[in-house]
Structures are given as C-alpha cells and as structure tokens.
A and B are shown apart, each in its own frame.
Chain A
Amino acid sequence: MVPLNWYLLLSAAVFFIGVAGFLSRRNIIILFMSIELMLNATNISLVAFSHYLLDMRGQIMVFFIIAVAAAEAVLGLAIIIALFRNKATTNVDEMNIMKG
C-alpha cells in the first residue's frame, strides 16, 4: 500500500503551487483558478486521511468543500463580469483606483 505521507506531500505540493500562482499571476481568472487548485489539494489530503483513518468524515468534508467551491465560482465569475462591464480588463495591476 502507498504510504499516507506520499499523498500528503502531493497535496502539499499542489497546495503551494496554487499559493505561488495566487501570489504571482496578474490575470484574475488565473488567480481564481489558483484558489481552486488549493481547494483540490485540500481535498486530496482529506480523502487520503479518510482512507487511512478508516473514517468517512473526511470524505463528507470534501463533499461540502466541493459544494461551496461551486457556489464560490458562481459568485466570483459574476463579480468578474460586473467588473468587466465597467472596465474591460482582468488585470489585477489595473485595480488601482484606490491607493493607500
């Protein structure tokens, strides 16, 4: 059987690739996708824990995370559309009306 640690390292790798994307890209949609990567990494570790702990609750949590991620995606994309109507850009560097 594959050891639990391998799954955890995979999950950590994907999670921090997501963090790196979030901290370095300009395109709002890619930022958003980086967050989805982070959520998926969390799901991987939860399912792995669930399997190795002989407990279903990790999988239940993944179920909730997927449901909320869907809701978040809907709202996030609606916000992007609302912004695009007024501004026609998806570049975070142009989000600078407010300085401080």
Chain B
Amino acid sequence: MGGVIFGYLAGVIILLSILVITVKNPVHSVMFMLLMFFHIAGLYLTLNAEFLAAVQIIVYAGAILVLFLFVILLLNLKDELRMKRTTWSWPLGVAAAGALFIAAFLSLRSFVPGTKGVITTAVIKAETNTKVLGRILFTEYLFPFEVVSLVLLVALIGAIVLAKKRQRS
C-alpha cells in the first residue's frame, strides 16, 4: 500500500516538475508547480511530517506562488510567448544536469544513513508532531530562529527599496 501511494506521488511530482521547466507559458508553469506542491505535501504526510505538510501548502502554495503569479501578470505576457524558450546552450545545460543526476544516482544507490535519533513514531504519536517540532525549534534552534526574523525584515526592507517608485532627489 505504502509503495503504491509513493509510486503515485513520485510519478506525479516528477512529471509536474518536468512540465514546470518545459512549458512555454509561465502562468501554466506556476499552475503545474501549485499542483506539484500539493503532491509534495502529500509526500510529507506519508513521512509523518504533518506540520510541514500544512506549512508547505500555506507558505509555498498560498504565499510564494501567489506572489509569482502576481508578478507574471504584472509583466507583459504577450512578449513572453513570442520569445524563444531556451538559451542557445540548452543541450549543454541539460546534459550537465543529466550527468550530475547519474553521478547522484550512483552515489546514492548504496546510501548508509547515520546515527539514529530517539524521535520514534510512538513519541510523535504520544506528543503530536507539532509539539515535538516546536520544542526543539524553541530550545536547540532558538538562535537561528531569531536570526530568521531578521532575514524576513531585510527582505521586507529590500523589497520596498527596490520596488517602490523613487523620486530622483
């Protein structure tokens, strides 16, 4: 059963990601990507990561992709459709990516995972995924968590500075 679900999700994810990078119209790309994000969220559910599945949909599908769509519609779509899809060196790029994938395939085939931790399914069942995640996030990972708030602030300042129409003083 698990194998069938994984097979379905994996097949759809790969198919959609190929479509994202090959279709001509960026709006279609975004739509395929949206569908792909839902399937990735499904994959997270099979891996006991309910919180991340929710975040994946809320942040990626709900915020990031909407932003993409907004910008694409702001720009001129007609010109997009007229221009060529790929750079002149695209066979090189695809070949390089393919070669790297084969290298990754060969090196990942015999993957030996490292030291096992203590968060078993039983622990997650007893405490719920979000609680376990939250406890680690706010103890062990407190420092990066605080710094991330500054990353968001910088993105905010940066976006305002760059996108705002400025009077030349």
Say yes or no: B163 contacts A57, CB within 8 Å: no
A8 to B21, CA, bound (A): 21
Given A24-B93, A56-B133, A2:B40 Cβ within 8 A? no
Distance between Cα atoms of A82 and B71 in the complex (Å): 11
- In the assembled complex, the CB of B11 is this many whole angstroms from the nearest CB of chain A, namely 9
Q: Which residue among A74, A79, A91 has the maximum number of chain B CB atoms within 10 Å of its CB?
A: A74
- Interchain nearest-CB distance for B66 vs A (Å): 10
What are the residues of chain B within 8 A of A73 when measuring CB–CB?
64, 67-68
**Cβ-defined contact, B97 with A23, below 8 A:** yes
Interface residues on B, range: 35 or more
Are A63 and B55 in contact, CB atoms less than 8 angstroms apart?
A: yes
A19 x B100 contact (CB < 8 A)? yes
How many Å lie between the Cα of A20 and that of B85 in the bound state?
13
- Per-residue 0/1 for B23-45: is the Cβ within 8 Å of any A Cβ (1 yes, 0 no)? 00010011001001100100110
Q: Mostly helix, strand, loop or mixed at chain A's interface? A: helix
Q: How far is A51 from B84 in the complex, measured between Cα atoms in Å?
A: 43
Number of residues from A at the complex interface, CB < 8 A: 75
B51 / chain A contacts, CB cutoff of 8 Å: 59
Interchain pairs with CB closer than 8 A, number: 237
For the residues of B in contact with A, the DSSP-based class is: helix
Q: Check A56 against B132 for contact (C-beta < 8 Å).
A: yes
Check if A68 sits within 8 Å of B49, measured CB to CB. no
In whole angstroms, what is the CA distance A33 to B71 when docked? 13
Residues of B near A77 (CB, < 8 A) are 67-68, 70-71, 159
Q: Are A60 and B137 in contact (CB under 8 A)?
A: yes
Q: Is the CB of B49 within 8 A of A90?
A: no
Task: Please give the residue numbers on chain A whose beta carbons come within 8 Å of chain B beta carbons, in ascending order.
Answer: 1-2, 4-10, 12-27, 29-30, 32-34, 36-37, 40, 43-44, 47-57, 59-60, 62-64, 66-75, 77-82, 84-85, 88-93
A-B contacts, 23 of them at CB < 8 A, read A14-B14, A16-B101, A19-B96, A25-B85, A26-B84, A29-B75, A32-B68, A34-B20, A36-B64, A37-B17, A51-B48, A51-B49, A53-B116, A56-B119, A60-B140, A64-B141, A64-B148, A70-B155, A77-B159, A78-B159, A78-B163, A80-B71, A81-B163
Task: For the complex of A and B, list the 3 residue pairs with the smallest distance between their C-beta atoms, beginning with the closest.
Answer: A23-B93, A21-B21, A55-B117
